[in-house]
Structure 1
Amino acid sequence: MPTTVPPVEAAVVVHRLRKTYGGRDVVDGLDLHASAGAVTAVLGPNGAGKTTTVECCEGLRSPDGGSVRVLGLDPVADAVALRPRVGVMLQDGGLPTGVRALEMLRHVASMYAAPRDVGELAERLGLHAFARTTVRRLSGGQRQRLALAAAVVGRPEVVFLDEPSAGMDPQSRHAVWELVRELRADGVAVVLTTHLMDEAEDLADRVHVVDHGRVIASGSVPELLAADADGPAPTVRLDATDDLDVATLTADLTAALPGTTWQVTRTDPGTYQVSGPTSPAAVAAVAAGLAAQDVLVRRLGVGRRTLEDVFLDLTGRHLR
């Protein structure tokens, strides 16, 4: 896709980034940017190159080509200058396993000139419940909360969050989301990688979709969800106990509502997506078409196009 010019206030700028492993380009001329006071989501299938890209931004890997600038500095060459200004939350936590949770957070806070109040942050993320437990004995979700606290306790200007709510229960996940929104309101540039499309859809101001080492789509969530981007917006999703005759249902819907355009696709075994106009008559026509085929429906939902729909359209539905 065409290279977009980053805004003046961009806190992270990646330009024509290349990274090669074993003679293979994992990142192949990638461009993206992230602005201050915004949440930027970097999405992609496993192996798409997004983690390598973020690791280059964090200074954990050196690019083989192109450039990366964080707050105007090189993450590798200027690591010492950037370290107090950037927070990093790795997916595996990257935490010392033998230390107690709150003791570790206090130690990290002591490295900064003006850290957040440790007690307040621990309360926000529910760390007191396992404050005296060693890191190795924490559950996956507890480690994630502790890693997030360590990433933000120094009041960073840029924070990289890799799968921040992975393994968390709904209560913990919403606490994390609220903290991310607070960081954005404070002017922090938040760069988020996640496989949870609802997380990206709820939090992100801008989304970069990465595949095969390049950004293949960028924009705000509403821009990516625009109905005319890839056809009409899905109105009905259903799980059926029997195979559905897609061609017959499409013809029945067109006949029932002349002048309308329909697309019926099978997304997974037993799961179908019906795209067309949104109206009570349209939903009734879908129900009548299913009844005509004597298809039993386990679950039927009416809704708009989602970020997951866009992601799957862009990157495909095959396993990798």
Structure 2
Amino acid sequence: MRYGAVTAVEHVSFNAHAGRVTVILGPNGAGKTSTIEACEGFRAVTSGSVRVLGLDPQRDRKQLNKRIGVMLQDGGIYPTARVGEIVAHYCSLYGKGVVANEVIKTVGLEHRTKSTWKKLSGGEQQRLSLALALTARPEVAFLDEPTSGVDVNGRDMIRAVIKNLASTGCAVVLATHELDEAERCADDVVIFHEAKIVANGSLESIRSQSYEIRFRSGIAFDVAALAKYLDFPIQNMGDEYVITGTADAAVIGKFSEWMSFHGADIRDLRAGAQRLEDIFRRLTAGGSQ
């Protein structure tokens, strides 16, 4: 997908599954919103194809709109529209028997039904946008930065709504640049960097492929020599060292032997799967953020 001479998305391919939350994660400008907008039918792709529920979002947009829920990054709601009125209007458009007051209560805005969009706080506006996406009883929901500008309690509520939505069998596609949100919400993760996908799979599988050993030492040692001996990269993080790419018992044994032979002690040894934050930083290092 291109905008003039700029490539917004290139060679992207992923699936979102019913009953699961697929998080599209990436720095600002990585191509997340462009990808979601192509899936929603708001943007045409310049090559390749997009299918949502077996339909072409451009050619079959009228059919598709009845089956998907959309939460835009910037809201897209008329400033003087009242909460109760706009939700009721959306419910009537879809005609799927969704009760406006129930949706409003789901996102915790029952005390704001007579308030206009422009009078809501940023977090309340986000919750209203999410409510509108729910009025379709969607089979697929596209949520762009759903917790942006939302306080802690509001985030907890939005996460609960998203998880509940997935439990109904809806395929939830959520775009965010916030690592904490991704780790809390995701069943599957697609990591974007500079318009391309650099990781794609279940959160569990992505983390299981990225192990690390963390430790401290009170005695200086040759980090480069140890890295060469183990054949794994080692980072000096200031107060601790991180061996990336393994947590294998045999490697830990070799590491312990090398440190002992060179008179260096090992403190606070920890081994296990990397955090999503560490994986993300490694995969997106070196580019513009």
- The TM-score normalised by the length of structure 2 is 0.82
Preserved CA contact (<8 Å) 1:250 1:262: no
Task: Output the CA distance in 2 between the equivalents of 1:262 and 1:61.
Answer: 41
Matched AA of 1:220: S
Query: Where in structure 2 are the equivalents of 1:1-320 lying within 5 Å?
Result: 19-226=1-208, 229=210, 232-233=211-212, 235=214, 248=220, 263-266=234-237, 274-275=241-242, 285-286=266-267, 305-316=274-285, 319-320=288-289
Preserved CA contact (<8 Å) 1:250 1:263: no
Task: Output the CA distance in 1 between the equivalents of 2:233 and 2:42.
Answer: 48
Q: Call closer, same or farther: CA 1:317–1:121 in 2, change over 3 Å.
A: farther
Q: Answer 1 or 2: which has greater strand percent.
A: 1
Query: Shift of the alpha carbon at 1:178?
Result: 1.1
Query: Shift of the alpha carbon at 1:98?
Result: 1.0
Query: Shift of the alpha carbon at 1:250?
Result: 6.7
Matched AA of 1:233: E
- The TM-score normalised by the length of structure 1 is 0.75
* Greater relative contact order (Cα < 8 A, sep 6+): 2
Q: Call closer, same or farther: CA 1:246–1:66 in 2, change over 3 Å.
A: farther
Q: Call closer, same or farther: CA 1:250–1:131 in 2, change over 3 Å.
A: farther
Query: Shift of the alpha carbon at 1:183?
Result: 1.1
Q: Call closer, same or farther: CA 1:70–1:309 in 2, change over 3 Å.
A: same
Query: Shift of the alpha carbon at 1:164?
Result: 0.7
Q: State the match for 1:9 in structure 2.
A: none
Task: Output the CA distance in 1 between the equivalents of 2:36 and 2:219.
Answer: 44
Task: Output the CA distance in 2 between the equivalents of 1:272 and 1:308.
Answer: 18
Unaligned runs of at least 5 residues, structure 1? 1-18, 238-244, 288-300
Query: Shift of the alpha carbon at 1:99?
Result: 1.1
- Helix, strand or coil: the match of 1:68? coil
Task: Output the CA distance in 2 between the equivalents of 1:247 and 1:159.
Answer: 54
Query: Shift of the alpha carbon at 1:37?
Result: 1.3
Q: State the match for 2:259 in structure 1.
A: none
Task: Output the CA distance in 1 between the equivalents of 2:201 and 2:218.
Answer: 32
Summarize deviations over 1:250-297 as a string: whole Å, max 9, x none.
76xx8xxxx9x893334xxxx665325799x9xx9447xxxxxxxxxx
Preserved CA contact (<8 Å) 1:115 1:154: no
Query: Shift of the alpha carbon at 1:200?
Result: 1.5
Preserved CA contact (<8 Å) 1:235 1:305: no
